[in-house]
Amino acid sequence: MLYPKVFNPLDLGFITLKNRIIMGSMHTGLEEAKGGFERMAAYYSERAKGEVGLIITGGVAPNRRAWLTPFGAKLTTDAEATKHKVITEAVHKAGGKICLQILHGGRYSFHPFAVAPSAIKSPISKFKPWKLTGSGIWSTIRDFGNTAFLAKQAGYDGVEIMGSEGYLINQFIVPKTNHRNDEWGGTFENRIRFPLEIIKEVKKRAGNEFLIIFRLSMLDLIDEGSTLEEVILLAQQLEKSGVHIINTGIGWHEARIPTIASSVPNGAFTWITQKLKNEIKIPLIATNRINTIDQAEMILQNGEADLISMARPFLADPYIVQKSKNGQANLVNTCIACNQACLDQIFKQQVASCLVNPFACHETEMISTKTNTRKKIAVIGGGPSGMAFSLEAAKRGHEIHVFEKQNILGGQFNLASLIPGKEEFKETTRYFEENLKLYNVRIHLNITFTLEHVKSLGFDEVVVSSGVKPRRIEIEGINHPKVISYPDAIKFPEKIGKNVAIIGAGGIGYDVASTLVHKRELSYYKHWGIDQEYKSRGGIMQSAHNEPNHKVWLLQRKEGKMGETLGKTTGWIHRLNLKKLKVDTIAGVEYQKIDDQGIHIVVNNKPKLLAADTVIICAGQESENELVKDLEKYGIKFYVIGGALKAGEVDAKRAIMEGVELGLKI
């Protein structure tokens, strides 16, 4: 049997999980969207059809003060419980199991009524919380119990109590945020009283045969966080209180250490889960940057955990478990940890989706139907938009031919996968290649498409997805041999001198800069100051960096903050990373000329010479769509998508979305 550990059911007496894979909690924005319950029912039930062992919903507040944002999801009344039934019924009908996560934001709640153990503002919120009174604490505990009771009424199989990531319960547990001197603060026993009383109340209200998972912060990654001994002691107390499963939480949201970004190694935190493994008897879930069933099996085989939680991988592919079980792991659409369409959307208060799978959270709106008119379609360019279009159109029954002038598919993704920390982008190309094969899409590599092909091969329609080319910019000396384009800089690092100026500080400028100063021999843990020996509170230590290979200046013309266009949830990582590696970022630059001496610029009205040996142009792109004029001239029906349509701010999210949308309607 493939993946014997993963597909070994977990029997807890009153409930059996059919396998060891859990879809971890993730807020999607559907919770608050119009028609959200029906949309969530479709979203979760599709994952249940894909045979995941257990689903945990996005966080739901036990009272109004617990709201992360005003009017967020809460479960406090019978009427609200009734609305949830559409979700639980759909999941159960699809053969799945589902738990509701109860989340109290505490001082992370983004509204003026936020409460916390002590009135200490978080660095990532503008609201100072109110200190909970003793009676406020007891009523909050009762609210957790009430929500668990209502979750049971609504048909959920259990609840997950969110005790990590720096939310309210976590704020009670650690000395940093709990400065109380009553029975809820001070000693460790007092600080953990709050979670233990919550479990007691939940059990009282929902009974013994209702699954209780506790998400325990095992590594806070903040100063004055928990010690390892405290984590173990709390886990043992939770076990005694009747918690059935312990889930792993890593890092507070305010920690300045990336824990789920693409630069975090796969399975980077299973070592911490393992430290707890022999200290308790109840099952333990490993989390963070686990995105394949292969890896899940390995973690289980190594005895590092009993279950594996994945959240974003289920946005990327609802069928990851089923495909892997059936020996079709090659067909899985792998999450590349970009955050661009999921967490970045959530931070903008929009419904989440997935860059590589735009259907995610849009299951009721984006529906594929077989075509009645089979067309023969030429697709010019096998980058993200072309591949996405081809797959959807082929699934609907069209005959698709992709023409790619390179010798491989992937387009800009091939460049991206050469950036340290973005290697997994090649998994998206693998996904498309394998699925295009399955749907019989004809791939023509090393071919520059011409009108002759339309005529000789008899295409009905043409889709232009030929992508982008680097923007040519006008600066004196732009043709100097020391000037190179970003694709060349990424593909041929040996062409780059010691001192490097980068023109343009968008996503690609940042990527190129971090590639230049990145040193593989330095571990992720040392670079970000994670103490794997766990000697200090919170598991943090001084970070350490090797001297970079290059001196780098990253330049932009705009005044103000650098890296403004980077993703909401990853921009800070890029900025901090370059700061650690001593990259000079300069805004408000006026470019004068490039010559043998380097690049001459003016900043704050003062001329400056940067003695660069190499100048890399990362100044954005222009559309590559020369064919369009000919297609127009000869009256051939065509569509233009992705970068070929609009190069400004082209990103893979828009490119893939446009490909899928056209594929669904052509």
Q: Which residues bind ligand NAP (CB under 6 A)?
A: 473, 503-509, 511, 556-558, 565-567, 618-621, 649-651
CA 564 to each of CA 440, 505, 573, 587, 594: distance values in angstroms, whole numbers, following the listed order:
42, 9, 12, 11, 26
Nearer CB in complex with ligand SF4: 164/339: 339
Question: Residues binding ligand SF4: what is the number (CB under 6 A)?
Answer: 14
Least spacing, CB of residue 239 vs ligand SF4, in Å: 32
Q: Which of 74, 152, 312, 362 binds ligand SF4 (CB under 6 A)?
A: 312
**Which pairing describes strands 130-131 and 115-116: parallel, antiparallel, or unpaired?**
parallel
315 near ligand SF4, rule: CB under 6 A: yes
Q: Which of 506, 511, 435, 487 is nearest to 663 (CA)?
A: 435
* Tokens representing residue 149 in the block: 């009771």
Burial class (CB in 10 A: 0-12, 13-18, 19+), 23: buried
Distance CA 285, CA 269 (A): 11
Nearer CB in complex with ligand NAP: 17/554: 554
Instruction: Look up 534 and say whether it is catalytic.
Output: no
Where residue 155 falls (left for φ over 0; alpha for ψ -120 to 50; beta otherwise) is left
Where residue 539 falls (left for φ over 0; alpha for ψ -120 to 50; beta otherwise) is left
* Tokens representing residue 179 in the block: 């400065």
Nearer CB in complex with ligand NAP: 172/486: 486
Q: What does 255 interact with, of ligand NAP, ligand SF4, none (CB < 5 to 8 A by kind)?
A: none
Nearer CB in complex with ligand NAP: 18/575: 575
Q: What does 148 interact with, of ligand SF4, ligand NAP, none (CB < 5 to 8 A by kind)?
A: none
Least spacing, CB of residue 384 vs ligand SF4, in Å: 12
Q: What pairs with residue 246 in β-bridges?
A: 214, 284
Distance CA 359, CA 175 (A): 43
Least spacing, CB of residue 506 vs ligand SF4, in Å: 19
Which position among 43, 167, 510, 534 bears the catalytic label? 167
255 and 220 in contact (C-beta within 8 Å)?
yes
Of how many residues is the chain composed? 666
Least spacing, CB of residue 449 vs ligand NAP, in Å: 24
CA 533 to each of CA 275, 299, 530, 601: distance values in angstroms, whole numbers, following the listed order:
10, 20, 9, 47
Least spacing, CB of residue 661 vs ligand SF4, in Å: 17
Q: What does 342 interact with, of ligand SF4, ligand NAP, none (CB < 5 to 8 A by kind)?
A: ligand SF4
Nearer CB in complex with ligand SF4: 137/316: 316
Nearer CB in complex with ligand NAP: 473/544: 473
Q: Which of 235, 290, 316, 496 binds ligand SF4 (CB under 6 A)?
A: 316
Task: Name the amino acid, one letter, at 655.
Answer: A
652 near ligand SF4, rule: CB under 6 A: no
Footprint (CB under 6 A) of ligand SF4, residues 318-357:
335-342, 354-356
Least spacing, CB of residue 361 vs ligand SF4, in Å: 10
Q: What does 335 interact with, of ligand SF4, ligand NAP, none (CB < 5 to 8 A by kind)?
A: ligand SF4
CA 400 to chain centre: 31
Nearer CB in complex with ligand SF4: 146/334: 334
Residue reference for tokens 């400065």: 179
Q: What does 473 interact with, of ligand SF4, ligand NAP, none (CB < 5 to 8 A by kind)?
A: ligand NAP
CA quadruple 160, 161, 163, 168: dihedral positive or negative? positive
Task: Name the amino acid, one letter, at 422.
Answer: K
Backbone φ and ψ for 641, nearest 5 degrees, come out as -135, 165
Nearer CB in complex with ligand SF4: 118/291: 291
Task: Name the amino acid, one letter, at 483.
Answer: V
The single-letter DSSP state of residue 235 is H
Q: What does 485 interact with, of ligand NAP, ligand SF4, none (CB < 5 to 8 A by kind)?
A: none
Q: Which residues contact 306 (CB under 8 A, 6 or more apart)?
A: 10, 20, 283, 284, 285, 300
Least spacing, CB of residue 350 vs ligand NAP, in Å: 16
Q: How many helices (H) and strands (E) does the chain have?
A: 22, 27
655 near ligand SF4, rule: CB under 6 A: no
Least spacing, CB of residue 564 vs ligand NAP, in Å: 9
Q: What does 556 interact with, of ligand NAP, ligand SF4, none (CB < 5 to 8 A by kind)?
A: ligand NAP
Question: Does residue 632 sit in helix, strand or coil?
Answer: helix
The single-letter DSSP state of residue 450 is -
Nearer CB in complex with ligand SF4: 143/427: 427
Task: Name the amino acid, one letter, at 374.
Answer: R
Give the number of other Cβ atoms within 10 Å of residue 153's Cβ. Answer: 15
Least spacing, CB of residue 659 vs ligand NAP, in Å: 16
Q: What does 529 interact with, of ligand SF4, ligand NAP, none (CB < 5 to 8 A by kind)?
A: none
Q: What does 565 interact with, of ligand NAP, ligand SF4, none (CB < 5 to 8 A by kind)?
A: ligand NAP
- Nearest residue to ligand NAP by CB is 506
Q: Please give the positions annotated as active site.
A: 167
Residues lying near ligand SF4 in the complex (CB under 6 A) are found at: 312, 315-316, 335-342, 354-356
